[in-house]
A and B are shown apart, each in its own frame.
Chain A
Amino acid sequence: MVTLKINDHQVKVAEGTTVLDAARSLGFNIPTLCNHQDLCVAGNCRVCVVEMKGARTLIASCAMPASEGMEIYTNSLKVRNARKHIVELLLSEHRADCTKCYKNQNCELQTLANEFSFGEHIFLDLVAGRPYEIDRSSPSFVKDDSKCIRCQRCVRTCAELQHVSAIAVANKGSHQKISSFHDRPMSHVVCTNCGQCVNRCPTGALVEKTYIDQVWDAIYDPDKHVVVQTAPAVRVALGEDLGFDPGERVTGKMVTALRQLGFDSVLDTDFTADLTIVEEGTELLTRLKRVLVEGDKSVALPMFTSCSPGWIKFIEHKFPHMLSNLSTCKSPQQMFGALAKTFYAEKRGLDPSKVVSVSIMPCTAKKFEADRPEMRSSGFKDIDYVLTTRELAVMIKQAGIDFLSLEDEKYDSIMGASTGAAVIFGATGGVMEAALRTAYEIITGRSVPFSNLDVVPVRGMEGVKEATIKIEGTKEDWKFLEGAELKVAIAHGLVNANKLVKAVSTGKASYHFIEIMACPGGCLGGGGQPIPTNMEIRKKRMEAIYAEDTHMAIRKSHENPEIVAIYKEFLEEPNGHKSHKLLHTRYVKRESY
């Protein structure tokens, strides 16, 4: 422990605590910009400078460890003047078209400007006359360098959390910028569209590409039947953008709001999450059978999950030799899309060309996924528009809906029924847990051997998780698995995915089944979720996800009555002919720069 004085108040903090955190523990707020709890310290925006007695210069409080006897002043005249200068300097380099900016009122620079920079600007405008290009090449996000303040949060996110480094710092001095390999457009580099950078950008330099207006147009088009699906992780985060604290479950209110927005049918991605479990579980068991019983060497194990489009693009770029390990199952979003314009249209007697399929996702990569050429198996673009959690919040605000006081309503049918197994798709380890609940039961006829169906070893925030499930008492068809140990692993955040896949690829580790989610914490920490997202908030969303699971009447995917029905009426059997046409996909090798 070290004792120091901040603004003449004594405080004792653990060794290694930064001056910033020490000050905050006393209730002295120091503004920051480049600092983010998920990322390493950069100390480059200098907004958090404070005065330290005896020091020649001011110090960056985010980068300075507290030490014994320090005397710190967080708000002296010297500090305020410097901070005002720094904010003014950032503004002079920032194209401040706030009223037209998507991040208006959710911009950290704007917040600082309100505090430090009212009245006349001190400095000259450096943006005017400087050429800038807006990169709109990605279907997921827009990169606008003229709004970039070079805090490098995005660069650190891409490198530290995702091990992708699609963006990096280029050039020096006044020419310094955040750029891609050889300045290629973002659509032509290793970018996975995960949107973690978008989630961390303090300004409007990186924002999701919005399709709000297109969705409004569809809703108001009398010719169109607009269906909307909501991903599992949206319901535990949407509230944050609409006045609730993190961790609030707003499923029922969200359904009501979507109905009030004018969607013709409010359905649930959870339905196809359940369907994914049946399809993917069957695929896994088939692979195991072919390897273990038939000795088929052409079958790749371990099998990787394929729900996360950021992860899919990552493996396509970085481990193209392992594409056969990916489950061929489409993600729940895309399964939903393919069924919406076939099964759903048929059942509801609709012309599929008139069905507009919208999905609400915690994700920006889903926008890319929906645009993939493989995703047109209904004969149309299976998913027309993908909106992030944030975009839905914007629509709700635009419609003037008082979200806080909405009554709870239930999803429509068909394709609205779901189980607890589906909702946990939103948390890292959730797909694995859901798969185990179903696969174990298929093999043994009994529930997975964990109290209350909670497969605890696959839960939690650890970057890479492992579990081994011993299979005993198998049914006749699955005798070859008697006594076998099913080895599974889970990774979330691509930096962890990279470690795990590398270990598998070099033979250092061996598993049967691996779940990978591109974003830290899984979808609940997705790039399309409310800003800010950090460890504390991810944990709260995770608690909410598991609470949602516990509160569901049915908690195993294969017991979802609509799933049972769709196989009876339409798909016939898991991994059958129709499934392969509509619910499975293929992957492509991509360049590695």
Chain B
Amino acid sequence: MENKGLNKVDLIFEKIDAKSTLEKAFAMTSEQIIEQVLESGLKGRGGAGFPTGLKWKYTAAEKEPEKYIVCNADEGEPGTFKDREILDKAAYKVYGGMAIAGKAMGARKGYIYLRGEYSYLLPQLYIELYKFHKLIVEIGYDFNIEYRMGSGAYICGEESALFESIEGFRGEPRNKPPYPTTSGLFAKPTSINNVETLVTAMMIIEKGADMYVKLGTKDSRGSKVFSISGDTPIPGIFELELGMTVQEFVNAFGDGDTKAVQVGGASGFCVPRKKFAETIIGFEGVPTGGSMKLFNSSRSMYNVLHNYLEFFTEESCGQCTPCRVGCQQLLKGVEMVKKGDSKSAYLNELVKLADTMKIASKCGLGQSVGNAFKSIVENFREEVIY
């Protein structure tokens, strides 16, 4: 087990000269940019962790003249608030990352899909965008970005539902294939990347992939911005090198009484205290889009679970059977067990249902409901029942 310990990093918020980075990027060929990003080992920072360089490579390989780069800023995972901070503090790097991605894959147009609740950021973001467009003209390049607003549906953070929403339709995930890299926004080849991914990509171009691979582990290169909340004396945003154990994380951020950490939000995993030391935060252990929620012994894990299930029951788009009905059954099921109206063994049926949802749901939402459900029920069964 490769363990890097807990190290603070400052890449995302580091001030850079956007002009020189962009000029450097625009002087590179598409292949060179993609090569750098591939070499860096960067994986998507939204949570799913698809290798960014590959996504760009696939999109670049498409013959279609019109392509899009879409920035997913529909940050909706419970307990995640790092994209808001990045947009607030370093929007110019988000725009820059999009331009670099555009150059890599041959897209002249970018869209940012911004979470509806973040609309208060827009005036400042538009000022930054104006400056960015001016800079692009100054450099003599052709690329522009538009904002599209979400309206509060969690599902619209799913890439294909996000496209549907931008196109003016109901935000429902599409069937895959085709994948966005072949047919995404407006049925054109599209690379859709998280806010943080784009900023990181810009920093990789700025500093070189060599710098980046020194950070993190084999499976989880680089650093990551964490949104830390819950029972912690120091909630907030922290950029940390990947490859620490949950124990190291809790030592730094816990309140001395941490019994569980929910890594990756409602769709992530619950790590109980007994597994802190053996669990790496990263793709080899528990992956996260940034959400880290600490729970101390005053919390009922039943309440935590119930809260997540209520969330999913509400936020499922309702399109596919396993997710729409499955979420309701899990919620109602744990309520019945808690009240004593169902036998505790019914939890076993629910775990099987969670497994079905994981393999039979149409999109990542339904497929990941089982993560939180199973990890809480398996690790805190007593608390769920009694």
Chain A residues in the interface with B (C-beta under 8 A): 41, 43-47, 49, 56-58, 60, 63-65, 78, 81-82, 85-86, 89-90, 92-93, 122-124, 126, 149-150, 152, 168-169, 171-176
Contacts and interface: CB of A to CB of B under 8 A. Distances in A.
A44 B329 contact: no
25 contacts: A41-B175, A43-B320, A43-B362, A45-B321, A46-B360, A46-B361, A57-B358, A57-B360, A57-B367, A58-B359, A60-B362, A78-B359, A85-B356, A85-B360, A86-B322, A93-B324, A124-B333, A126-B325, A150-B321, A152-B319, A173-B312, A173-B316, A175-B314, A176-B316, A176-B319
B175 A43 contact: yes
B317 to A, nearest CB: 5
Contacts of A47: 321
Interface string B130-146: 00000000000000000
A168 B326 CA distance: 23
Most buried by B among A82, A90, A175: A82
B153 interface: yes
A46 B326 CA distance: 12
Main secondary structure of the interface of B (DSSP, over half): helix
Most buried by A among B313, B327, B342, B362: B362
Nearest to B320: A44
Given A44-B321, A174-B327, 16 more contacts: A41-B175, A57-B367, A60-B175, A60-B362, A85-B356, A123-B353, A124-B336, A150-B319, A150-B321, A150-B324, A152-B319, A169-B319, A172-B315, A173-B313, A173-B327, A176-B317
B175 A92 contact: no
B266 interface: no
A64 B174 CA distance: 12
Nearest to A43: B175
B273 to A, nearest CB: 30
A58 B361 CA distance: 9
A60 B363 CA distance: 11
Interface in B72-96: none
Nearest to A85: B356
B177 interface: yes
A425 to B, nearest CB: 38
Contacts of B361: 46, 57
A58 B321 CA distance: 14
A176 B324 contact: yes
A86 B352 CA distance: 12
B180 to A, nearest CB: 16
A47 B322 CA distance: 10
A172 B365 CA distance: 13
Given A57-B360, A173-B324, A126 B175 contact: no
Contacts of A90: 321, 325
A89 B318 contact: no
Contacts of A65: 177
Contacts of B339: none
B31 interface: no
A126 B177 contact: no
B349 interface: yes
Contact of B322 (A63, A85, A150): A85
Contacts of B349: 122
A176 B324 CA distance: 8
Contacts of A168: 170
Interface in B322-358: 322, 324-329, 332-333, 336, 342, 349, 352-353, 356, 358
A89 B170 contact: no
Interface string B293-329: 0000000000000000000111111111110111111
Most buried by B among A78, A149, A152, A173: A173
B320 A46 contact: yes
Contacts of A60: 175, 362
B42 to A, nearest CB: 22
Interface string B97-114: 000000000000000000
Contacts of B353: 85, 122-123
B320 A45 contact: yes
B192 interface: no
A126 B327 CA distance: 12
Contact of B328 (A45, A64, A126): A126
A549 to B, nearest CB: 43
A292 B360 CA distance: 65
B312 to A, nearest CB: 8
B25 interface: no
Contacts of B324: 93, 150, 173-174, 176
A176 B316 CA distance: 9
Contacts of A56: 359
B155 interface: yes
Contacts of A78: 359
B356 A86 contact: yes
7 tightest Cβ-Cβ pairs between the two chains A and B: A176-B318, A89-B325, A63-B175, A85-B356, A43-B175, A173-B316, A57-B359
A333 B336 CA distance: 56
Given A60-B362, A85-B356, A172 B325 contact: no
Contacts of A126: 325, 328-329, 332
Contacts of B320: 43-46
B320 to A, nearest CB: 5
